[in-house]
Amino acid sequence: MFSYATSASARIGTALALTGALALLCLAPPARAGAPGTVPGAAPEPGDVVVSEDFASGSLPDGWRAIDGDWQVEDGRLVGAAASGTRKLTFGPHLADYRFEATARFDTVAEATRWFALGLDVPASGATPWWIATLRSGSTAANGAEFAQLTTAGSWNVTDTAAAPYAAATGRDVKVRIEVHGHRAAWFLDGRQLMRTNRLQRSADGGLALVVNGSQVSFDDVKVTALGPSGHLRPEGAPVTVVAHRGASSSAPENTMFAQEVGRRSGADFIENDVQLTKDGVPYLLHDTTVDRTTDGTGDIRTLTAAQLDTLDAGSWFSPHFAGARVPTLAAQLADLRTRGGSLLLEVKRADTREQVAAMIDVVRAEKMTDRVFVQSFEPRHLRWVHELAPELPLGLLRSTLDADPVAVAADLHLTSYNPSGAALDARPGVVAELHRAGVATMVWTIDSATEWRRYDEYGVDGIITNRPAELAGWSQARTAPQKPAAAVASPADGAVLDRAQRPVLAVTTEHADAAKVELTLDGEPREPGTVLDLGALAAGGHTLRLTATGPGGTTVTTSTFTVKATRAGLGHLILASGGRPQTVEGLLGSLARGRYEQLGKQARKAGARGELPAATAELIAADAKELRAG
């Protein structure tokens, strides 16, 4: 699935930063007056904090416009209320590439289906259409989080949905984050990605907003940061970019519209396809030099005209189900992606001249898809020509073996991504970190097994090119989903038999749990992990420790039992530590030494009654003496 840039100031090199700044100058109007972190009249650069508001002033910040509903600053938080329907507040400049963060809390809701949203492209007037990223109070529902558009007709166009691993509920602060790069966006909850989309439709001047629906929600720490335009480095908490190789080529005939559709429905962020020119100079999708393997025709594509290619069956070789599939033109593919959603990783094949590459780029421009196309090639000259023709297009260099200095090569070719084979990357996995420090992403090819996905994910690659996009998307999402906490009582060990002379420390182990949400009880009474367990205060017999650990992935409860057993040594320790009068302690120890347990019990109870021994301790001594006598 698609990945997005992290902190531009930390990860984007000087050359990319300049490119990003120029792109933003072209795409974004000047920041509105009063936006923190910007110079009035100047477009923000990657890394600039455009909005940073903690509402400490006690009133709505300058430039924040309550379009409808009740919006007030109370106790250092912005509170928006909508008893029914949808209410919004607009603010901030138009940005093409940005990170929008906030802490939010449902105070009250009419029902669990009600929601709040971060407005991603909303006119300052609040007029439709506008785009939002929503979170329901009942966020574990299948549509607990959404990307959606309110159309000019007043209807909702919900493009993407996801279930959160836990309910936002009421009274709970959640940290929400949306990272936007043009028409692409990623939705994060408490630092974990829930979903991505590549179907935003951007306006020329839409700004930001906060929206509430059927609820009262309080917001704090609203922050908006300008990002670089590339957005191909994977941020923390995000799964790898899923690239469908030749479309979903394990499930449909490669480089066809069927494969593209399956790849899109599989959750792929990019459809990867190969483009070549026909005899009459029309760009078509085909991997091989000839049409022999993947169609019912024969011959080199360069010897066939577009009219001839259009008659070929490109599906029957794969399965009778796909009989009649055609070899698509690049124009048809791009039109489908533009109207139905998706981005293209376009591999240039067999282009001998700059003019031949220009014929491909002309189609990308004619279809108005320069913001959704990423160009890659094995040939550096292809990438140089693309950069000359369309410097706004991101570039990736395919490699079967690593260059001696991939970072230098990336700088020379203006690369956004360096794309090695799996075998090449295995020879030197540290190159991923080297490229990242230079602001360059890595996409590895062509990887089709879970074992390999795990290995390259652990290398830190940003994307994986695969013939199995559905399987990779599911595997990757599960791998990055919040894990249910693991919890165990380490001491006393489960089943331990202890005597009163021992002083075990209460110890627990947890993973994927919030430290503030780890609770331990002993026989129902709260206990603090790390403290010494006083066995001199417990009755002989069985006792239960209950450990509860809560984290982003849910709550885990585990129990452990131990037994306090009466022993001569333990009873002696109990008497010595009792705090009784010296003469009383001496008498009790004498009876213990002679094994006179019945007498010992009577002595203890009398001493407790006379105040010479703590009453509770006296009963424990008597009970242990009785047990030893019986044993």
Annotated catalytic sites, by residue? 245, 287
Query: Which of 12, 6, 91 has its CA nearest to residue 52?
Result: 91
Q: Tell me which DSSP letter residue 43 carries.
A: P
Sort strands 373-377 and 343-348 into parallel, antiparallel or unpaired: parallel
Query: Which of 98, 97, 138, 135 has its CA nearest to residue 116?
Result: 135
C-beta separation of 492 from 532 below 8 A:
no
Measure the CA–CA gap between 435 and 563, rounded to whole angstroms. 57
Query: Which of 612, 566, 611, 557 has its CA nearest to residue 588?
Result: 612
Between helix 597-610 and helix 582-593 the angle, nearest 10°, is: 170
CB atoms near residue 165 (< 10 Å): 19
Measure the CA–CA gap between 377 and 350, rounded to whole angstroms. 10
Q: What is the H or E stretch that residue 148 is in?
A: strand 145-150
Tokens of 489: 């009582």
Those residues whose C-beta lies under 8 Å from the C-beta of residue 217, and which sit 6 or more positions away, are 79, 80, 104, 105, 106, 107, 116
Burial of 466-482, coded b for 16+ CB within 10 Å and e otherwise, reads bbbbbbbbebbbeebbb
Q: What is the H or E stretch that residue 77 is in?
A: strand 77-91
Indicate the SS3 state at residue 20: helix
